Structures are given as structure tokens and as C-alpha cells.
Amino acid sequence: MPLSMNREVFITCAVTGSGDTVSKSSHVPITPKQIAEAAVEAAKAGAAVVHCHVRDPETGAPARRLDLYREVTDRIRSADIDIVLNLTAGMGGDLIFGNVESPLPLNEKGTDMAGATERVAHVAECLPEICTLDCGTMNFSLGDYVMTNTPSMLREMARQMTALGVRPEIEAFDTGHLWFAKQLVEEGLIEDPVLIQLCMGIPWGAPDDLNTFMAMVNNVPANWTFSAFSIGRNALAYPAAAILAGGNVRVGLEDNLYIGKGQLATNGQLVEKAVGVIEGMGAKIIGPKEVREKLKLTKR
């Protein structure tokens, strides 16, 4: 993909995620009401798309419960502002081994393995306009946790998403994930227009230095639409990098808890920060209507 600045940018806000962030910031939404309110806050600040996980309302732990997704979806759709809804489908591939000497049996605390149909059950139930597809397996963060997404699993999940009329957003954590995404497109399991999220700086995927980022960008076909983000200290710089590379922007408390050194952020503040970067670079922010037209989404 040739380097060319994107002049018409949409913002995705990932409002809560599934990481252990609840104990680190009181701004991370937990209940369906809080998650929906965070989505509305992000949309009013300038986000066209909201990316949602759900959490156990009592503990804040990540969850896959259909009733929680249904409530979040209903609340967002009944809000007084238009939003493109993007639900995660990344849950159900969490594999945690025992230890380095006795990897089996698996550690039951945290291991969550589900079949393809179960992993997209909430997508079939709620029919968002977009849902994510983590396009590969990788060592994820520390310890003995592996994020597992086998080729067979990904093919079947992609097939079901496409059959439901939901646009998959391919989550690419490394160049091999982009390679397999191209294979899914070649096999007709993902239809045009192809949407991809470049996920940078997540241990132990692609680091977020600019050389690696551009290697990822250069592996994205020119006719695909991509966004990018990084976690941690470089998160606030990535909107500028993504736009200059021809992409769109993702921010939110799933990826970064801070608006400045030692200053905890809200989702709305992170979106406002991104808006300032985009407009300061001379680009235009596009809204939900334009995103639907660009990505040929079906509004529910």
C-alpha cells in the first residue's frame, strides 16, 4: 500500500475491553448501562464506531453472556445519537497452560475455549453492523496464556459472520495474521469491502515502532480499509501515525487508560483528543452515515 495521508477519517472507540483494567481506573465501564453510556459519550465526542465487550456486572471480569450483549445493544440502539455498533467475537479462545514443567492439565481459571457457533452466538443474537475476528494465534501478554484462533476456527467464524450479513473487522496483531486474512478473502469467506484493525504494541505481537507499523501497513491491500492503535505509552501518538499512513483511528479505555502522564481518562476525553489530532492535521472526521456507505454496512 503506498503511503498517502487519509483526509477523511473515522474514529472507533473501544470502550471497555476484557483486560484487567477495572482495578486500575474507575472510568472503565462494567455494567451494560455503563458500557452503553460510555458508547454514547464517545459518539457525542466524535466517534462513528463503538467497539464493545461485556463484563460481569458484579465482578468486572470479561463475559460472553448473551443477556449482557443484548442489553448493551438495545441501550445503544435506543440512544439519542447514531452509532455504528461493533461487537467483539474474540472471547472463547483463551488457553492457559498449567506451568512450564506440567503444562497439562490446563489451568481452569481463565481458560475459556468455545466452538465457532458459540463464539458468534451473541453476533447472531444482536446482529451488530461489525464484529471482530482475531485473525491468528499468539502468545498474549505474560505467563502461560495463549490466544488461540486456528485456521479452521477462523474459516468457520468468518463464514458465519458473512452469512449473518455482519462485516468482520479483521484484528491483525502481526504480519502473519494479515497473510491469513488475505487467504480468507481469496476463499470468499470475507467479502469486500474488507475492514482491518492493526493492533500494535500488544505483547507478543507486532511492536509499535514505526518500522514495524509500516511493514504492517505495506501488507494491507490498497483497496482495504484499515484503522490502527497502540496500547500503553505510545497510544496517544498513534492517531497521527495511522492518519499519515492512510488509515483511520481507534482509541478508548480498552487500549489506554490515560489522557496524560498520571491523568486517568474517560472514553469521551480520548475521542476528543483524537478529534483534535485529526482536525489539527487538516483531515475531516466522518460520521456513522459515511462509514456505512464506505463499508456497505447494514443498519439494524
- What is residue 141's predicted lDDT score, i.e. its pLDDT? 78
**Number of domains into which the chain is organized:** 1
- What is the Cα–Cα distance from 94 to 238, expressed in whole angstroms? 27
C-beta of residue 233 within 8 angstroms of C-beta of residue 257 = no
Does a structural domain hold residue 2? no
- The enclosing H or E element of 74 equals helix 66-77
Residue 223 belongs to a domain: yes
- CA angle in degrees (0–180, nearest 5) for 18-23-26: 95
Domain-embedded: residue 300: no
Residue 122: burial class (beta carbons within 10 Å; 0-12, 13-18, 19+): buried
pLDDT at 1 over 70: no
Span 239-263, mean pLDDT?
96
pLDDT tens digits along 155-174: 999 999 999 999 999 999 99
Per-residue model confidence as pLDDT tens digits over 72-107:
999 999 999 999 999 999 889 999 999 899 999 999
Instruction: State which residues form the domain around 248.
Output: 8-295
Give a yes or no: residue 277 inside a domain: yes
Average pLDDT over residues 278-292: 97
User: Which CATH number does the domain housing residue 159 bear?
Assistant: 3.20.20.70
